[in-house]
Amino acid sequence: MAIWQNHFPLDEANHVRAVESGWVTGVARPIHLGRSSHVWDVRIHDDADRLVCVSRVTMAVLSTPMRY
């Protein structure tokens, strides 16, 4: 699990199709940006703009900085 600036992500991903070559592009949009939690919608498309993956990421926002 990646830790980035006091955010702990939990995610669910549905892979709609495989991509064997080319590029994929992901766009993340916030659904909820609260004081203690963030929820993001992530959509990944291939070169032909076909949906490849849909994901929702929930992050707990901590007030105490991590020391690692």
The phi and psi torsions of 37 (rounded to 5 degrees) equal: -150, 150
The closest alpha carbon to 61, from 2, 16, 9, 1, belongs to 9
pTM of the model: 0.73
Mean of per-residue pLDDT scores for the chain: 85
Q: Which domains does the chain have, with CATH numbers?
A: 11-61 (3.10.129.10)
pLDDT > 50? residue 3 = no
Read off the pLDDT of residues 6-20 as tens digits, 9 standing for 90 and up: 555 567 899 999 999
pLDDT > 80? residue 44 = yes
Q: How many residues does the chain have?
A: 68
